[in-house]
């Protein structure tokens, strides 16, 4: 018997699990799965300049990109997630990927690089990171923010599958560009990324500014209190 055959799920077991899942969904449906928070649907993107006490604002209001990034590249720093719930299993943002563009013969491809990651299971918030991204050719930086819902834990068991406790991932893109037209513009400063749910509205950006207490960048309101909603801050400057 091949290793593939030994590792594959048997037909009888597959039918049993499928039937059990269908029965659980049909009989318990809303009561069962309503216990799990939905995955974030989109991202809110704010911006604050480097100047002291600069108020945050909607990143979509940046009028134009900074062409000085061409030939210099971008230096990106991230200190980790902020505004997380006391129980780390209730956080959502788990990965930040940067997509580097390169040529493969005559075809342009994108290579994803996992720049930062945290663990909902262990409570690890991820280490501070710094990395460079070239912007000369495509004149933009492309990120993917991965969010997750469901129960944080180890592997997925049959009980997890039947109870709806399997984590669900969702990849949400962010593009910062120097080109005119559509897209959030790339300039020097702080970009604040906030995952939003179905009925969430964007934060009241002007009520916050970016501070760095205890070596972690965070949104702080007029009273000096850190924003209670999950967010993280990217510091973007010239690489050289």
Tell me what pLDDT residue 131 has: 93
Tell me what pLDDT residue 230 has: 83
- Structural contact between residues 165 and 208, judged by C-beta atoms closer than 8 angstroms: no
Tell me what pLDDT residue 128 has: 84
- Structural contact between residues 45 and 233, judged by C-beta atoms closer than 8 angstroms: no
- Structural contact between residues 217 and 233, judged by C-beta atoms closer than 8 angstroms: yes
Q: Which residues pair with 76 in a beta bridge?
A: 131, 236
- Structural contact between residues 178 and 66, judged by C-beta atoms closer than 8 angstroms: yes
Which DSSP symbol is given to 59?
A: G
Q: CB neighbours (10 Å) of residue 219? A: 27
Which stretches of the chain are assigned E, i.e. beta strand? 42-48, 57-58, 74-82, 93-104, 107-117, 129-133, 140-149, 168-177, 184-185, 189-196, 209-211, 218-220, 231-238
The CA-to-CA distance between both ends of the chain, in Å, stands at 59
Phi and psi at residue 133, to the nearest 5°: -135, 125
Q: What angle is formed at CA 69 by the lines to CA 67 and CA 74, rounded to 5 degrees?
A: 150
Residue among 92, 72, 60, 71 at smallest CA distance from 176: 60
Q: Is 224 exposed, middle or buried (0-12, 13-18, 19+ CB in 10 A)?
A: exposed
109: left (phi over 0), alpha (psi -120 to 50) or beta: beta
Residue among 188, 149, 156, 189 at smallest CA distance from 172: 149
Tell me what pLDDT residue 234 has: 94
- pTM assigned to the model: 0.74
Which DSSP symbol is given to 226?
A: B
Helices (H), the chain: 3-7, 11-33, 158-163
Residues of the chain with pLDDT under 70: 1-39, 84-91, 119-126, 149-169
Phi and psi at residue 125, to the nearest 5°: -95, 5
Token pair of 50 as six digits: 């480097």
Q: Is the dihedral of CA 20, 21, 26, 28 positive or negative?
A: positive
Which DSSP symbol is given to 8?
A: S
């Amino acid at each position: 018997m091949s290793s593939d055959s030994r590792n594959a799920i048997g037909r009888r077991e597959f039918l049993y699990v499928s039937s059990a899942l269908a029965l659980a969904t049909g009989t318990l449906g809303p009561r069962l799965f309503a216990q799990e928070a939905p995955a974030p649907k989109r991202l809110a993107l704010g911006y604050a300049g480097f100047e002291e006490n600069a108020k945050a604002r909607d990143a979509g209001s940046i009028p134009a990109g900074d062409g000085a990034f061409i030939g210099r590249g971008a230096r990106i720093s991230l200190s980790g997630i902020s505004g997380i719930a006391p129980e780390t299993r209730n956080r959502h943002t788990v990965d930040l990927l940067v997509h580097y563009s390169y040529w493969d013969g005559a075809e342009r491809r994108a290579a994803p690089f996992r720049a930062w990651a945290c663990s909902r299971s262990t409570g690890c918030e991820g280490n501070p990171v710094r990395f460079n991204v070239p912007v000369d050719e495509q004149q933009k930086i492309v990120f993917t923010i991965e969010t997750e819902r469901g129960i944080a834990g180890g592997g997925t068991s049959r009980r997890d599958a039947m109870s709806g406790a399997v984590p669900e991932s969702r990849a949400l893109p962010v593009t910062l560009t120097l080109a005119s037209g559509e897209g959030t513009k790339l300039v020097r400063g702080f970009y604040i990324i906030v995952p939003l749910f179905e009925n969430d509205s964007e934060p009241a950006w002007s009520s916050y500014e970016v501070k760095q207490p205890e070596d972690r960048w965070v949104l702080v309101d007029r009273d000096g209190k850190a924003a209670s909603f999950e967010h993280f801050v990217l510091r973007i400057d010239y690489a050289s």
